[in-house]
Chains A and B, each alone.
Chain A
Amino acid sequence: DTAVSQTPKYLVTQMGNDKSIKCEQNLGHDTMYWYKQDSKKFLKIMFSYNNKELIINETVPNRFSPKSPDKAHLNLHINSLELGDSAVYFCASSPRGSGGGSPLFFGPGTRLTVL
């Protein structure tokens, strides 16, 4: 059974479109995250949710909106896609917040390409 799953794995779309990436974890964790790995290979946190509540919201354009319908799901919706949004997006979860040495469990990633 996949612990953290994301769909789709690949997403190719035109500039200006709106798209969503879905994430589900079956680990019973309280905290979920979205990370972005850009072309320079840095993994940067975008959002963190704890029990469906937004905890961390880094400097991310408001075209990006996370939605957590329940503790096991954290979806990412992106409006008006731009070329610079092309990246690999990773969903992750942890039993509690990512500080305190609690490891994150990552999904396989979604490679988004904006043309």
Chain B
Amino acid sequence: DQQVKQNSPSLSVQEGRISILNCDYTNSMFDYFLWYKKYPAEGPTFLISISSIKDKNEDGRFTVFLNKSAKHLSLHIVPSQPGDSAVYFCAASAGGSQGNLIFGKGTKLSVKP
């Protein structure tokens, strides 16, 4: 039972354009959402997070939007750069500091020059 779903396994975008990566979740108890970026043969690295009490969080070129009623979040990258090409994982947690991080399956982003 996937509690965090990333339904697009891959996404291809032209350099300079916007990349939008989507994530859906089923557990209404999730109160934090995080995005991780992963290059081949490396571990995931933390990118940006959002609390369930917010609907938007921005950090430079990266913005995460949360729609709690739709149980949906998205990561926007503007402008996209070739170095952004990686696998992006959405993750969510519930239950305070000891809650597990539940990961989605990832979306592979390719940014073409």
Q: Which of A40, A90, A98, A105 has the most CB of B within 10 A?
A: A98
* Chain A residues in 8 Å Cβ range of B51: 101
Q: SS class of chain B's interface: helix, strand, loop or mixed?
A: mixed
Which of the residues B34, B41, B89, B95 comes within 8 Å of A109, measured between beta carbons? B41
A40 B43 Cβ-Cβ under 8 A: no
A98 to chain B, nearest CB (A): 4
What 1/0 flags go to A72-115 for Cβ under 8 Å of B?
A: 00000000000000000010100011111111111111000000
Knowing A101-B93, A103-B46, say if A108 contacts B100 (CB, 8 Å).
Answer: no
Q: Name the residue on B nearest A44 (C-beta).
A: B103
B residues lining the A interface (CB < 8 Å): 31-32, 34, 36, 41-46, 49, 51, 89, 93-101, 103, 105-106
Knowing A42-B103, A101-B51, A101-B93, say if A107 contacts B43 (CB, 8 Å).
Answer: yes
Which of the residues B31, B42, B99 comes within 8 Å of A108, measured between beta carbons? B42
Beyond known contacts A99-B97, A101-B32: 16 more, CB 8 A cutoff: A40-B105, A42-B103, A42-B105, A48-B100, A98-B93, A99-B31, A99-B93, A99-B99, A99-B101, A100-B32, A100-B93, A104-B44, A106-B36, A106-B44, A107-B43, A108-B42
Knowing A99-B100, A101-B32, say if A41 contacts B49 (CB, 8 Å).
Answer: no
Chain A contributes a number of interface residues (CB within 8 A of B) equal to 28
Knowing A44-B103, A100-B32, A101-B93, say if A109 contacts B98 (CB, 8 Å).
Answer: no
A92 B43 Cβ-Cβ under 8 A: yes
Knowing A106-B44, A108-B43, A109-B41, say if A99 contacts B103 (CB, 8 Å).
Answer: no
Q: What are 25 A-B interface contacts by the 8 Å CB criterion?
A: A41-B105, A42-B105, A48-B100, A55-B98, A90-B43, A90-B44, A96-B97, A97-B96, A97-B99, A98-B97, A99-B98, A100-B32, A100-B96, A100-B99, A101-B34, A101-B49, A101-B51, A103-B34, A103-B46, A104-B44, A105-B46, A106-B44, A108-B42, A109-B42, A109-B43
